[in-house]
Amino acid sequence: MSVAAGAPLALPVAGGAVERHRPAPPVSLPAADGRPPRSRVSFAAAHVVADPLAPEPILDPRIDWDATLAYRRHIWAHGLGVADAMDTAQRGGALGWQAARELIRRSAAEARSVGGALVCGAATDQLDPDAQPSLERIGDAYAEQCALIESEGATVVLMASRQLAAAATGAADYRAVYDRVIESAARPVILHWLGEAFDPSLAGYWGAPDAAAAVPLVAELIADHAEAVDGIKVSVLDARLEIELRRRLPEGVRLYTGDDFNYPELIRGDELGASDALLGIFDPIAPIARAALGALDEGDVAGFEALLEPTVPLARLMFAAPTSDYKTGVVFIAYLNGHQSHFRMLGGQEGARSIVHLAELYRLAERAGALSDPERAAGRFRPLLELAGVAQH
């Protein structure tokens, strides 16, 4: 039996109760015109769309290339750059180096065809995960991936390396690898400081006992390579630490916030500077992010805040611990918005969050204006709720 348009959803809440929810009217946003914002450099870390018909979706996950590239065109159409083959694309999880290499090549070709800005993650994940590589081999692995990205015309994002974190005995080992890789790059690179909230295996990165102690080490590394570093993406979910590092950076080196909890205040900035953006949360809220940055371009700080602040509760829930599971929420919102025909992910990652969690994401996305068509979103969520045992009437 079909469900009438506008019919309320039965949504689960914590504790086992169910509440009735009627879709809200859509929020009006400026039409996409492809123009990038002037006031900040901004990238959305983009997800990949899984092939739902892959014969072995866990052991051999596959990508739906048409839908994946279409989503990148959606981001470019809203004037944001794409950050690809990074955490949001399930890099370091179900997206291994072989698939990431193909993703980089295809996204780079698409970027060239539409004139879109593209940065791509270089890591060391082609190395045997059970081996104990030397620092030289880790540097070789970085160099191999950097060469591929640069050959495709994209900018390199030097992602944090699990292999380096395991092999390094102190700050000098990190410097030895990063010095070599940065110096060998053909164009300025973006460094990436990924905190242990996103990946516990990266605890103690940069050879410091904690994130605060790492700030001077990172600042010194960048100062020593200022001409070869475009910027650093900081994903440690600590606004004060990010601001401290931002104020230590040489002139011309950007701080790309990766703080999906505190991004409005960091992008807005203060009298001493502001952060640019390279954010996972910009994937599901690309139209809102572009509208907010457009307001900032015009000096309308109040308008910027009015658009972006309502997305923070959505982001904080999406990136709640375990933070690495945030990708499930990103893909869920893309599914609700009609950007993919299914809610399946590489490696079965769609099962990482509960139906109660997804129901609250749905509510918060609607309140933030992140659902382009709330009626469609409700219709797409309804069968997922029924499959989870939440009866709809």
DSSP string, 232-284: EEEESS-HHHHHHHHHHSPTT-EEEE--TTTHHHHHH-BTTB--EEEESTTTT
Mean pLDDT of the region 62-89: 98
Confidence of residue 5 (pLDDT cuts 50, 70, 90): low
pTM: 0.96
User: CB-based contacts of 32: which residues, under 8 Å, 6+ apart?
Assistant: 77, 78, 79, 287, 290
CA contacts within 13 A on the Cβ side of 330: 26
Q: What is the pLDDT of residue 207?
A: 97
Q: How far apart are CA 106 and CA 73, in angstroms?
A: 12
Q: Is residue 101 domain-resident?
A: yes
pLDDT for 6: 66
pLDDT above 90 for 281: yes
Please check whether residue 341 lies inside any domain of the structure. Answer: no
Return the pLDDT at 4: 57
3-class DSSP state of 167: helix
Q: Can you give the pLDDT at residue 393? A: 77
Domains in the chain: how many in total?
1
Residues 155/189, Cβ–Cβ less than 8 Å: yes
Cα(321)–Cα(191) distance, integer angstroms: 24
Cis peptide before 322 (omega within 30 of 0): yes
In the chain, beta strands by DSSP E: 9-12, 18-21, 42-45, 81-84, 118-122, 155-158, 189-194, 229-235, 254-257, 276-279
Whether 377 is covered by a domain: the verdict is: no
- Distance between CA atoms of 163 and 137, rounded to whole angstroms? 10
Q: In whole angstroms, what is the distance from residue 144 CA to residue 32 CA?
A: 37
Task: Report if residue 373 sits inside a domain.
Answer: no
Q: Tell me whether residue 334 is in a domain.
A: no
Check pLDDT > 50 for residue 2: no
Average pLDDT of the residues in 152-172: 97
Q: For the domain that residue 189 is a member of, what is the CATH number?
A: 3.20.20.70
Mean pLDDT, the chain, rounded, equals: 96
Which burial class, exposed, middle or buried, applies to 76 when counting CB atoms under 10 A from its CB (0-12, 13-18, 19+)?
Answer: buried
Across the chain, which distance is largest between two alpha carbons, in Å?
67
Residue 115 in domain: yes
Q: Residue 368 domain-assigned?
A: no
Cα 246 from Cα 277, distance rounded (Å): 13
DSSP character at residue 200: G
Q: Which domain holds residue 165?
A: 36-319
In a domain, 372, yes or no: no
Rounded distance between C-alpha atoms, residue 371 and residue 364, angstroms: 10
Asked if 330 contacts 271 with a C-beta cutoff of 8 angstroms, the reply is no
For position 31, what pLDDT does the model report? 86
